[in-house]
Amino acid sequence: MIELEHVSKTFPGQDVAAVGDLTFTIPEGESVVLVGPSGCGKTTTLKMINRLIEPTGGTITVAGRDVAQMEAHELRRGIGYVIQQIGLFPHRTIRDNIATVPKLLGWEKKRIQARVLELTDLVDLSEDMLTRYPSELSGGQRQRVGVARALAADPPVLLMDEPFGAVDPIVRTRLQDELVSLQARLNKTIVLVTHDIDEAIKLGDRVALLNIGGVLEQYAPPEELLRDPANAFVADFLGTDRGIKRLSLVPISQINLDPGPVLPRSAPVAEAREMMRRYQIDWAVVGGDGRIEGWFTENDIAGHDTLDRVHLLPFQTKLAATDSLQQALDAVISSHTAVAAVFDGERYLGMVTSEEISREIIE
């Protein structure tokens, strides 16, 4: 856990504070993303945690210990640090780069060796890269080495300043995904700085949205931030499409599902026609008791008395209740019927409709 209490920083020779009076807590094992416009004090805040910048006021504690009371270099050896430029040492091999902190801590050779291999695997690098130099790696590979190096001594806390800022969008997306899965396994306390709100939404358990002067405008989980922006600044920063952005964070189980135009096999065709009229559609579904067999169109029932013999089409896309509304929207848009069936395992739960999704966007 990292606690900032009334932290401030005014750089020498400046009359306005880079960070005015900042108080917030980063819970153990969570990832918190600091986001905000350029110059709002994100980097300053991050660097005050590992004392690369000394605050002019307030206190910062990491795991209950006041950082100002610790030797700066000892504090830092217990905190992983990744910066945008990565800062790999060009004169050292990848192996030696990764081993930096363990060496500073005086680990034995064997232990370092084993740890380097473990990390190489963890960040998905190949072992033959260990003898190379940083200039012999691609941007994405270097970034992975940067992360491996930061994790080398297994620090409980990881500070990252725009870690994916210098790589192209495709590599960035992959590295973000890797960080998410890494974090799912490692449960570090992560503080990550970005100015990309989408990255913040994707990577943060919580997002701290800062304004110029280090003013904390809102501190909330991404879903809450998007659903309920605290003020106009936040809403503006999130953009007009914040409703759509939120869809990726809301599971289908959160919205009302329509039971759907479901009829038993034995239902007379007239009943099917009545159902279609009610729904204003030209198709319906056969099923019942948490199962559905398939769907048919108005044309398919011509000449039948009941649905018994009607030819049924299978559902192309099946959604799970845990899928996001973004996936649901995707399915709805691309399906012929403009709805998508939701299941819990094999059990049919209902239909997602575009109306329900737009209601969620507008909310």
Ligand X SMILES: Nc1ncnc2c1ncn2[C@@H]1O[C@H](COP(=O)(O)OP(=O)(O)OP(=O)(O)O)[C@@H](O)[C@H]1O
Binding site for another protein (CB under 8 A): 50, 52, 73-78, 81, 83, 85-93, 100-101, 104, 133-136, 142, 149-150, 159
- The item of ligand X, Mg ion, another protein, none sharing an interface with residue 135, based on CB under 5 to 8 Å by kind, is another protein
Closest to another protein by CB, 119 vs 257, is 119
- The item of another protein, ligand X, Mg ion, none sharing an interface with residue 39, based on CB under 5 to 8 Å by kind, is ligand X
> Cα–Cα distance between 61 and 345 in angstroms, integer?
46
Q: Are strands 19-26 and 2-9 parallel, antiparallel or unpaired?
A: antiparallel
> Cα–Cα distance between 308 and 210 in angstroms, integer?
62
Judged by CB under 5 A, the number of residues near Mg ion is: 1
| Nearest approach, Cβ of residue 62 and ligand X (Å) | 19
Asked if 242 touches ligand X (CB under 6 A), the answer is no
Asked if 194 touches Mg ion (CB under 5 A), the answer is no
Stretch that binds ligand X, among 38-46, 115-123, 180-188, 239-247 (CB under 6 A): 38-46
Asked if 97 touches ligand X (CB under 6 A), the answer is no
> Cα–Cα distance between 344 and 96 in angstroms, integer?
49
Return the sign of the alpha-carbon dihedral for residues 185, 186, 189, 191: negative
| Nearest approach, Cβ of residue 14 and another protein (Å) | 20
Asked if 284 touches ligand X (CB under 6 A), the answer is no
* Candidate residues 40, 67, 175, 197; the one interacting with ligand X per rule CB under 6 A: 40
Task: State the burial class of residue 122 (Cβ atoms within 10 Å of its Cβ: 0-12, 13-18, 19+).
Answer: middle
Asked if 43 touches Mg ion (CB under 5 A), the answer is yes
* Candidate residues 8, 31, 44, 120; the one interacting with ligand X per rule CB under 6 A: 44
> Cα–Cα distance between 222 and 219 in angstroms, integer?
9
| String of contacts with ligand X for each residue 309-338, x by CB under 6 A | ------------------------------
Position of tokens 């995707």? 330
> Cα–Cα distance between 142 and 156 in angstroms, integer?
22
> Cα–Cα distance between 303 and 298 in angstroms, integer?
11
Residues 222-255: b if buried by 16+ CB within 10 A, e if exposed? bbbbbbebeeebbbebbeeebbebbbbbbebeeb
**Ranges within 47-86 binding ligand X (CB under 6 A):** none
Using CB under 6 A as the criterion, which residues of the chain lie in contact with ligand X when the complex forms?
11, 14, 18, 38-44, 195
Using CB under 5 A as the criterion, which residues of the chain lie in contact with Mg ion when the complex forms?
43
